[in-house]
Chain A
């Protein structure tokens, strides 16, 4: 099974090369991979339907408890079949849709990478492995949305999609880790058995919320749904594949997958059902107000995802069954409709339904696919969509623990919107009067109409023979989500009951909505503030706000003034020292001891202080250098007084050299100018004095205790005996700690090279790179 996942990535790597060598036939060649995968997974159908589970695990990162674990059960099988099956159709479709595009090779690469990632998500049985593939779907979808990269709108749409799903992904990561920590396992199939541990732990609610944010962002649930309509900037094959049939369902998939371990609590019911319900209504309401085919489809997709989430939130066996059937229903018809929309766009040059009509004549095959799909979407018998809708109504009516009436009403409303939208995307373009389109319409190539027709065919077949084809398999799918076995019966006829009435009401109301669209639109338009003030705007304002704040912060801290940088550093150090010293230091131990100080020592100290003050006061450079020299020579003198002749000699000679160099350097520099204001001088003065005071205090504290050197006695004893030198300081320098000296002369050498280079290598003497 690992190969099944990895093969997609491998194929992605070579796809551009294959495309380069076979050009026209690359689509037909590359489709073999998804087809083969479809066949491979389909071959397990019987086993799975019998209730078996197929699991594989490979060690990957044992040090972080991540194994490459895969499991095929009813739920994942449904997903991988959709992903590989629709994937095959899309590869073909894309090969024709983008036939002349110079970057078609890259398109294949991204598409196959996406497919492989999606398979990984559906198959993963380790929380982190799942997350890895999850993120890969985000990245590959980013690349696909930005495919038309010359357009700013594409780039921005892709960015928005990535940021929203990426941020959601990070929340998800945190959530998954919390679950992993709480459950003490990272294997997904083991989580259900630790349901109690997870749900009773203190981390349940944060973990749940974080995971839900991730799922909702991915599956375009309110209030994270806004990226999806933008993502329609992608080439239509991408929209058909990612943004309707597969990727956006990853969030739904994960909800379904974690339902046995996280579901069933009050929080789950409230949040998941609520968000799903809200999403299906809001998006459904917006859908039929658009005229762009892809926009309509995008909003109905969001609405459909809302229905799925809504059902999973209810979480009864019936609701889960409804969710799973509807998931299949939606993937089939929405994939088909997107491809149809792309074909129409491709062949007529527009996808504005106001400009379209009577295409059934010129595009007969496409029309068949579109018709079947739309009927399923509207929920007419004998198509699978009808069955799906019936189960939904059954499920809402039976949700006794919650509010069955409210739920049913919401589902009814969402479905009515759906019917109207279905009518809009097919009746309008394919029937009625022919309209003038930018291109003269004619049938799309085989590679493009085969997809809708095949998907439409499946919808029909599944609808007619639902019990035969889907019963056993869906029993397993539902069991995987529901967490216990559940009997699944499917069929078109359930008798005359409320559900049927609801179905009829849905159709009639939907039809009316479509028929009186022109009258209704002006009434509802003012209600539709969501698009202007909704989460999309909030996101823009919020994100821009953060970016503005960021650049404000940047300009505040990185302001270009060295003195502020320095001030911040000194201030930080001083604050830390004050904080530490006031809380942890015993100041009583300080002893001010000046009894032994000799007169000349006082004089020396006075000289140093006077010289230091002179430096700050003088306006002459030479005076400052001279005063600096005085400080240096005084230090040297101090070394003489206190038993450090080597130091004194070094200090004397270095000081002389420094003064010479400084004079040479400063010779050409201008006079001291007072740039700063009195106020800033006062402020700097305070900070400087504060720091100086801290240092003084510190020295006083330290010198109040005697020093017990652990090292010097050894040097005193062994300097001559072992190192053969009478001058201990020199012996330390060249022997005991000779390595320090090695570093020291290296510093000197480098400084000399640097000075040489600075003085001799000037930009003017250098030709431009």
Chain B
């Protein structure tokens, strides 16, 4: 499955990057979202996949035994998902505010801070 996912992740990265390189604010934020999914999925995949065995210690057991999914990447991804959520929601609201102030969705209209001659 890693092989298949490798291609899926590659496509997600390409799509995310491509969207972010558009001039539209909306595509930018959606691109960021795709990029986030891609990164999380990547950690999950390179952390190796184990089908169906969650890292839960049985009711009457003391240690996790047998095959089980690596819990650490899961914990990392969980943290990353939540952080990503916070950051992306903020970015979305930022874009909304920018649209409200600048009055356009076109990033090419938002170059004033890079213009040398004021």
Contact = CB atoms under 8 A, between A and B. Distances in A.
Contacts of A57: none
Interface residues of B, number: 98
B37 A631 contact: yes
The residue among A646, A695, A706, A720 with the most chain B CB atoms within 10 A of its own CB is A695
A608 B8 contact: yes
B70 A616 contact: no
Contacts of A631: 12, 34, 37
Interface in B1-44: 1-15, 17-30, 33-34, 37-38, 40-42, 44
A641 B79 contact: no
Contact of B48 (A555, A703, A727): A703
Contacts of A712: 70-72
30 contacts: A560-B110, A566-B20, A601-B1, A628-B30, A631-B34, A631-B37, A643-B54, A643-B69, A645-B56, A654-B82, A662-B33, A665-B93, A669-B95, A669-B105, A670-B104, A673-B24, A675-B108, A684-B21, A692-B11, A695-B10, A696-B6, A700-B3, A716-B71, A719-B64, A728-B55, A732-B72, A733-B79, A748-B83, A751-B86, A758-B90
A657 B79 contact: no
A670 B2 CA distance: 39
Nearest to A657: B85
A695 B42 contact: yes
B96 A609 contact: no
A666 B26 contact: yes
A672 B68 CA distance: 45
Given A593-B3, A719-B57, A759-B97, A661 B86 contact: no
A727 to B, nearest CB: 6
A509 B21 CA distance: 77
Contacts of A737: 75, 79
Interface string A110-151: 000000000000000000000000000000000000000000
A643 B78 contact: no
A650 interface: yes
Nearest to B97: A758
A597 B27 CA distance: 33
B4 A558 contact: no
B49 to A, nearest CB: 5
Interface stretch (A10-18, A459-467, A739-747): A739-747
A562 B105 CA distance: 13
Contacts of B51: 641-643
Given A602-B4, A751-B86, A669 B53 contact: no
A689 interface: yes
A472 B14 CA distance: 84
A673 B106 contact: yes
Give 5 nearest A-B pairs by CB, closest first: A560-B111, A692-B14, A696-B10, A643-B69, A560-B114
Interface of B: 1-15, 17-30, 33-34, 37-38, 40-42, 44-59, 61-65, 68-72, 74-79, 81-83, 85-90, 92-97, 99-101, 104-108, 110-116
B46 to A, nearest CB: 5
A462 to B, nearest CB: 59
A570 interface: yes
B89 A751 contact: yes
B89 A661 contact: yes
Nearest to A699: B6
Contact of A732 (B54, B58, B75): B75
Given A558-B114, A699-B2, A726-B59, A563 B82 contact: no
A363 interface: no
A755 interface: yes
Nearest to A718: B63
B15 A688 contact: yes
A344 B46 CA distance: 86
Given A605-B5, A609-B8, 13 more contacts: A560-B110, A608-B8, A632-B37, A635-B40, A638-B44, A643-B52, A668-B96, A669-B96, A669-B105, A696-B7, A720-B61, A728-B56, A729-B75
B37 to A, nearest CB: 5
A185 interface: no
B15 A616 contact: yes
Given A709-B72, A729-B71, A717 B81 contact: no
Nearest to B92: A665
Contacts of B55: 643, 715-716, 727-729
Given A688-B17, A700-B3, A755 B11 contact: no
Contacts of B90: 751, 754-755, 758
A643 B56 CA distance: 9
Nearest to A753: B90
Interface of A: 551, 554-555, 558-563, 566-567, 570, 591-594, 596-597, 601-602, 605, 608-609, 612-613, 615-616, 621, 624-625, 628, 631-632, 635, 638-639, 641-647, 650-651, 654, 657-658, 661-662, 665-666, 668-670, 672-673, 675-676, 684-685, 687-689, 691-696, 699-700, 702-703, 706-707, 709, 711-712, 715-717, 719-721, 726-729, 732-733, 736-737, 740-741, 744, 747-748, 750-752, 754-755, 758-759, 763
Contact of B62 (A613, A685, A721): A721
B34 A615 contact: yes
A616 B112 CA distance: 28
B10 A693 contact: yes
A129 B27 CA distance: 59
B63 A567 contact: no
A555 B78 CA distance: 42
Contact of B13 (A563, A609, A695, A702): A695
Nearest to B51: A642
Contacts of A554: 116
Contacts of B83: 744, 747-748
Contact of A707 (B15, B47, B114): B47
Nearest to A632: B37
Given A555-B116, A699-B2, A712-B71, A658 B48 contact: no
A716 B64 contact: yes
The residue among A594, A597, A741, A755 with the most chain B CB atoms within 10 A of its own CB is A755
B70 to A, nearest CB: 5
The residue among B26, B45, B47, B78 with the most chain A CB atoms within 10 A of its own CB is B78
A700 B10 CA distance: 11
Contacts of B114: 558-560
A672 B28 CA distance: 11
Nearest to B112: A560
A577 B52 CA distance: 34
Contacts of A561: 107-108, 111
A594 B24 contact: no
A669 B92 CA distance: 11
Contacts of A563: 20-23, 107
B106 A596 contact: no
Contacts of B26: 621, 624, 666, 669, 672
B15 A613 contact: yes
A567 B22 CA distance: 11
